[in-house]
Amino acid sequence: MTAHRAAHRTPQRPHAAAKPVRWAADTVATMREGARLRLDYSTQSLWRVDRMIEELRREQPPYAAVESVLRGFGAYAGEVIVRGTGGGAEWLEAGGGHWVRTADGRLWDPVDEARRCFAGHGSLRLLCRDATTP
């Protein structure tokens, strides 16, 4: 296969997607290996992610101990939104954070929503539902 044909098969993602896509993939691998939890980028999988965050919260670890885990869960939720909209959403990088912009122009911060979940005030599942509902 020529490089030209390969380029047409793999859609180019914006540069802003590089870090959150990697964080999400690392989270999927870590959950599969460590927690025996399969995350498949479906909206249904966010029920499991919300439960995992709730379990973490109940254990009451210091925030610094779970910060990167929460970032990974948030990035995973963002990827669920991006993939679930069939290209109608994209990652943006602004102000040191990573946001998802849906086709209607709304901005979503799934990493911050994961932090809110840990604080007992959020839901990645509901964020995804809201982001993918016009």
**Could you give the 3-state DSSP secondary structure of residue 120?**
coil
Q: What share of the chain is helix, strand, coil (3-state, %, to 5)?
A: 60, 10, 30
Q: Is 122 helix (H, G, I), strand (E, B) or coil?
A: coil
Residue 35, C-beta contacts closer than 8 angstroms, at least 6 positions apart: 52
What global pTM score does this model have?
Answer: 0.87
pLDDT band at 111 (very low <50, low <70, confident <90, very high): very high
Q: Does residue 93 sit in helix, strand or coil?
A: strand
Distance of CA 106 to the CA centre of its chain: 16
pLDDT in tens, 12-67: 556 778 899 999 999 999 999 988 889 999 999 999 999 999 999 999 999 999 99
Give per-residue pLDDT as tens, 90-99: 999 988 899 9
| Residues linked to residue 98 through DSSP beta bridges, in sequence order | 93
- The model's pLDDT over 113-131, given as tens digits with 9 standing for 90+, comes to 999 999 999 999 999 999 9
